[in-house]
């Protein structure tokens, strides 16, 4: 048996210190802005989780185009984070800008429908196979609205999510398993109710636990990503999707698939790529090339039942809404994105590069005998510092590496490559090139050599 490489933890920490120093030296302007921001922005950032970038302070961006961006210190980066999928289209995609710019001059929001609404709904129908569509401005809202409708039409109080999930800042989805029992997710800020009152939680890939939770008949909907992508990538085991669909049907529970990240699997997401049959589907982030946009769709049957519960005079005070939702700019951006950017041809390019990235990273792992693995959903690739793919949220969380995860991010960043924060996720846009993927692999190998050399 070939031995596997071992990583000296003290060495990782020493390397990390050196990278932090290098980062501070290379980013004087970002540091200056970050210091200034302490006087007006809470924690010195416009969004609190931006404090979590591994260099000690975030880099400030001057300009982002296609698959790259430049920071205020003049460094150029290959962007494999792509706004954590919000810019999976590439930044400011040239193919969508004319329609978006034109709409800016023709009015942004009126609270009346525009003709683009039909085009987008019909295209989503064609891509995902669901009949009726509604729009929102974030995937979080799409999920919230889908859950509300599911509870309203089933007249059931609870929902079910999988341990380790993330579906945006949706209160009901902030339930996890803690020591094997449903509880508020660690770090849940000021929950309005204890999420265990609203939500059941089971492990992904566990049909027995799922059936037990659905059996009492009080679960309105299961909300799930078709592949877990927010705790590292956790693939569905063979047969799990079939079990999920059969069990939800058997117990009268609606199945909501959140395709916000798995849209990386193809033009119709993982749902179309794998012939899944959700009752509802939610999607957001890159749908409008970064202009706030999201959509949620229903089967004909669910749409009919939903229509019955959205009755005047409560239509805009019933808990589903948003004055700016379905605004003309958002719809123009969605149309331009679907028509010109996230096309079949674009996906062929993106998925081919996803395969290249996966194969190159795997080759480095094999050559250096690293006890790690790499996994992929279309044009989304993730490497994890554990030997075998996790089967569920608990295994994925246990496999997170508090030393290596931040180290690899900072090492890459210092050499011009941005990974998605919190785990080691890379995403390919239509404008990413094979040379950029290759460059990522070179830097990845350089990091490996530093670790084990
Ligand atoms: N669904 C999934 C699967 C997500 O990963 C996220 C955000 N990471 C969301 C929904 C929420 O998206 P947003 O923050 O844009 O509302």
Phi, psi dihedral angles at 380 (to 5 degrees):
-115, 125
Q: What per-residue confidence (pLDDT) applies to 453?
A: 82
For atom 4 of ligand 1, the residue with the nearest CA is 167
From the CA of 349, how far away is ligand 1's center (Å)?
A: 24
CATH 3.40.640.10 maps onto the chain at 97-341
Mean pLDDT, to the nearest integer, of 55-61?
95
From the CA of 166, how far away is ligand 1's center (Å)?
A: 7
Distances 65 to 47, 61, 74, 97, 354 between C-alpha atoms, Å: 22, 11, 14, 12, 20
What is residue 232's DSSP assignment? Answer: S
For the Cβ of 260 lying below 6 angstroms from any atom of ligand 1, the answer is yes
Least confident segment among 48-52, 123-127, 262-266, 353-357: 48-52
What's the CATH architecture for 97-341? 3-Layer(aba) Sandwich (3.40)
Whether the predicted pLDDT of 318 surpasses 90: no
**Which ipTM value was assigned to this complex?**
0.99
Mean pLDDT, to the nearest integer, of 40-56?
91
* Fold for the domain defined by 9-88+344-452: 3.90.1150
Pair type for strands 68-71 and 76-79? antiparallel
From the CA of 140, how far away is ligand 1's center (Å)?
A: 6
Mean pLDDT, to the nearest integer, of 415-431?
95
Whether the predicted pLDDT of 155 surpasses 90: yes
Mean pLDDT, to the nearest integer, of 340-355?
98
405, 257 contact by CB (below 8 A): no
**Which ligand 1 atom lies nearest to the CA of residue 285?**
15
Mean pLDDT, to the nearest integer, of 225-239?
97
What is residue 66's DSSP assignment? Answer: B
- Would you place residue 2 in the very low, low, confident or very high pLDDT band (cuts 50, 70, 90)? low
Percent of the chain with pLDDT over 90: 92
256, 221 contact by CB (below 8 A): yes
**Which ligand 1 atom lies nearest to the CA of residue 85?**
8
* Range list of H helices, 164-314: 195-198, 207-214, 240-250, 269-273, 300-309
Residue identified by tokens 């636990």 is 209
334, 288 contact by CB (below 8 A): yes
Identify whether 347 is preceded by a cis peptide bond (ω within 30 of 0). Answer: no
From the CA of 19, how far away is ligand 1's center (Å)?
A: 30
For the Cβ of 87 lying below 6 angstroms from any atom of ligand 1, the answer is no
Phi, psi dihedral angles at 183 (to 5 degrees):
-160, 170
For the Cβ of 167 lying below 6 angstroms from any atom of ligand 1, the answer is yes
pTM > 0.95: yes
- C-alpha 258/C-alpha 142 separation (Å) is 9
Q: What per-residue confidence (pLDDT) applies to 1?
A: 44
Whether the predicted pLDDT of 280 surpasses 60: yes
Q: What is the mean pLDDT of the chain?
A: 96
For atom 14 of ligand 1, the residue with the nearest CA is 168
For the Cβ of 259 lying below 6 angstroms from any atom of ligand 1, the answer is no
Residue identified by tokens 């003709």 is 115
CATH 3.90.1150.10 maps onto the chain at 9-88+344-452
327, 158 contact by CB (below 8 A): no
Percent of the chain with pLDDT over 70: 99
- C-alpha 295/C-alpha 173 separation (Å) is 18
- Would you place residue 83 in the very low, low, confident or very high pLDDT band (cuts 50, 70, 90)? very high
Mean pLDDT, to the nearest integer, of 204-233?
98
Written as six digits, the tokens of 147 are: 């859950």
For atom 2 of ligand 1, the residue with the nearest CA is 167
- Would you place residue 314 in the very low, low, confident or very high pLDDT band (cuts 50, 70, 90)? low
Instruction: Count Cα atoms within 13 angstroms, Cβ side, for 446.
Output: 15
């Amino acid at each position: 048996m070939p031995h596997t490489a071992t990583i000296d933890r003290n060495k990782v920490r020493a390397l990390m210190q050196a990278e932090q120093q290098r980062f501070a030296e290379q980013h004087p302007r970002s540091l200056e802005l970050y210091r200034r921001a302490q006087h007006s922005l809470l924690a010195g950032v416009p969004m609190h989780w931006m404090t979590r970038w591994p260099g000690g302070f975030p880099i400030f961006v001057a300009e982002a185009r296609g698959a790259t961006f430049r920071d205020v210190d003049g460094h150029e980066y290959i962007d494999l984070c792509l706004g954590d999928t919000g810019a999976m289209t590439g930044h400011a995609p040239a193919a969508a800008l004319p329609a978006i710019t034109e709409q800016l001059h023709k009015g942004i929001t009126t609270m009346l429908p525009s003709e683009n609404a039909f085009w987008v709904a019909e295209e989503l129908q064609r891509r995902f196979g669901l009949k009726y569509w509604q729009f929102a401005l974030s995937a979080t809202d799409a999920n919230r609205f889908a859950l509300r409708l599911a509870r309203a039409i089933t007249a059931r109080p609870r929902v079910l999510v999988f341990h380790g999930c993330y579906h945006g800042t949706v209160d009901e989805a902030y339930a996890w398993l803690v020591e094997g029992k449903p509880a508020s997710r660690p770090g849940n800020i000021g929950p309005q109710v204890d999420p265990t009152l609203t939500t059941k939680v089971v492990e992904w890939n566990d049909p027995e636990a799922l059936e037990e939770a659905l059996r009492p008949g009080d679960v309105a909907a299961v909300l799930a990503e078709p592949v877990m992508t927010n705790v590292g990538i956790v693939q569905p085991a063979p047969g799990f999707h079939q079990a999920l669909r059969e069990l939800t049907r058997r117990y009268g529970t609606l199945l909501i698939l959140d395709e916000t990240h798995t849209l990386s699997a193809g033009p119709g997401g993982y749902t179309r790529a794998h012939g899944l049959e959700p009752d509802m589907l939610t999607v957001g982030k890159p749908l409008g090339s970064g202009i706030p946009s999201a959509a949620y769709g229903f089967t004909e049957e669910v749409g009919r039942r939903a229509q019955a519960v959205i009755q005047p005079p409560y239509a805009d005070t019933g808990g589903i809404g948003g004055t700016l939702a379905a605004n003309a700019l958002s719809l123009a951006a969605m149309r331009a994105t679907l028509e010109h950017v996230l096309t079949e041809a674009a996906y062929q390019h993106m998925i081919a590069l996803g395969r290249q990235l996966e194969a190159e990273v795997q080759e480095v792992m094999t050559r250096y005998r690293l006890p790690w693995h790499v996994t992929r959903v279309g044009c989304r690739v993730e490497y994890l510092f554990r030997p075998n793919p996790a089967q569920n949220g608990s295994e994925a969380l246990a496999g997170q590496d508090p030393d290596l995860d931040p180290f690899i991010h900072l090492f890459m960043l210092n050499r011009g490559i941005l990974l998605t924060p919190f785990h080691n996720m890379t995403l390919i846009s239509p404008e990413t090139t094979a040379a950029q993927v290759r460059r990522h692999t070179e830097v990845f190998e350089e990091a490996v050599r530093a670790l084990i050399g």
